[in-house]
Amino acid sequence: MTILVTGAAGFIGSNFVLDWFEEYDEDIISLDKLTYAGNPENLKSLENNKNHIFVKGDIADEKLITSILNEYQPRAIINFAAESHVDRSINGPKDFIDTNIIGTYSLLEMTRIYWNNLGYKPKNIFRFLHVSTDEVYGSLENNEPPFSEMTPYAPSSPYSASKAASDHLVRAWHHTYGLPVVTTNCSNNYGPYHFPEKLIPLCILNALNGESLPIYGDGQQIRDWLYVKDHCTAIRLVLKNGALGGTYNIGGRNEKTNLDVVEILCSVLDELMPKKDGSKYSTQIIYVKDRPGHDKRYAIDATKLESELGWLPEETFESGIRKTVEWYLGHQDWVSRVQSGEYQNWINKQYQ
């Protein structure tokens, strides 16, 4: 048996693949376009694993997708492939339209053709799991209840709008063609292999380098934080037992302001890697101009996933952030290689 994982060299995708092999010996075909955030080093530990095959390619390449499906006959596809950074979507939305909408369409169509030609038993067990985000629901006020699976979509950035479109396509292919799909919508992830343009890895690395820790606006934007390995556990469970055509919200029940996140992170660094001059890392915090259309609050109600499938996150934010900081401290070689010229140019442009 084989599964196909798209976006497998990215942050969440690579964690999923690595965690999968800790639980199963089932073959994985990892597909990734290897754009700036797709890092083959994330999967380096699998170089000699006979159950793992890596393919460089785009989910919008219909000829390639057809070839992979026909050759390896996967029983499931887990679609992580996406452009996923709000700031980048504001500066260059076309890539998000191309990958998140057109790419998802192409993957769905090639999958539908493949699935229709399967025999009775493999057709019945096949699943297409689409990984999405809580940002499709828009923004919450502080007194509003968290997003549930019934919350209307109200995306407010090019990124979230493109992901909302992909979610609608996935559900339409189930409703119209019967394709056996499941969708998950997760809150903000953090953990190992996170590309250092996002808040947590950016602040870890900037703190260690004696640089400023940039926080948008007043830092009071609220996010629900989910440790990436808890997310991977939930996806495996939804893949196995999720209802066809269903949607499952995945959240960590860890609502924090951006300022709280950075201050907690600084406290962990103060303990694990104290500065030689005895000062606190929090003194490096600065406030920068807020980004356009910055959503105020995201929060996930994961009751459906917890009650139907019995999932609960194992990590609190405090335990998860400690593991994350320890990982970055222990993988400085990975950090130095991922900080390419393109990455530095992006950071300079975004936080000048």
281 is a catalytic site residue: no
- Give the C-alpha distances (Å, rounded to integers) separating 185 from 53, 130, 149, 232, 306: 27, 9, 9, 12, 14
Question: Which one from 58, 83, 135, 295 is the annotated catalytic residue?
Answer: 135
Q: Which of 32, 134, 167, 263 is catalytic?
A: 134
The answer to whether residue 305 is domain-embedded is yes
320 assigned to some structural domain: no
Q: Which of 10, 155, 149, 137 is nearest to 79 (CA)?
A: 10
* Region for 113 from its dihedrals, namely left if φ exceeds 0, alpha if ψ lies in -120 to 50, beta otherwise: alpha
Residue 146: CATH number of its domain: 3.40.50.720
How many domains does the chain fold into? 1
Q: Model confidence over 91-146: pLDDT tens digits? A: 899 999 999 999 999 999 999 999 999 999 999 999 999 999 999 999 999 999 99
pTM of the model: 0.94
Neighbours of 71 (CB within 10 A): 11
Determine the structural domain holding residue 160 and report its residue range: 2-194+226-253+296-315
Catalytic residue among 114, 137, 159, 298: 159
In a domain, 218, yes or no: no
13 with 40: CB under 8 angstroms?
no
Q: Is residue 204 part of a domain?
A: no
pLDDT in 10s for each residue of the chain, 352 residues: 899 999 999 999 999 999 999 999 999 999 999 887 788 889 999 999 999 999 999 999 999 999 999 999 999 999 999 998 788 899 899 999 999 999 999 999 999 999 999 999 999 999 999 999 999 999 999 999 999 999 999 999 999 999 999 999 999 999 999 999 999 999 999 999 998 878 999 999 999 999 999 999 999 999 999 999 999 999 999 999 999 999 999 999 999 999 999 999 999 999 999 999 999 999 999 999 998 888 899 999 999 999 999 999 999 999 999 999 999 999 988 888 887 656 556 556 765 5
**How confident is the model over 293-317, as pLDDT tens digits?**
888 999 999 999 999 999 999 999 9
pLDDT of residue 40: 87
Residue 124 domain flag: yes
DSSP state of 189: E
135 a catalytic residue: yes
Q: Which amino acid is at 344?
A: Q
- Assigned domain for 202 exists: no
pLDDT at 226: 98
Task: State the SS3 of 238-290.
Answer: HHHHCCCCCEEEECCCCEEEHHHHHHHHHHHHHHHCCCCCCCCHHHHEEEECC
Within a domain: 333: no
Q: What's the rounded Cα separation, in Å, for the pair 351 and 315?
A: 31
Q: How far apart are CA 40 and CA 37, in angstroms?
A: 10
Residue 141 is given by DSSP the state -
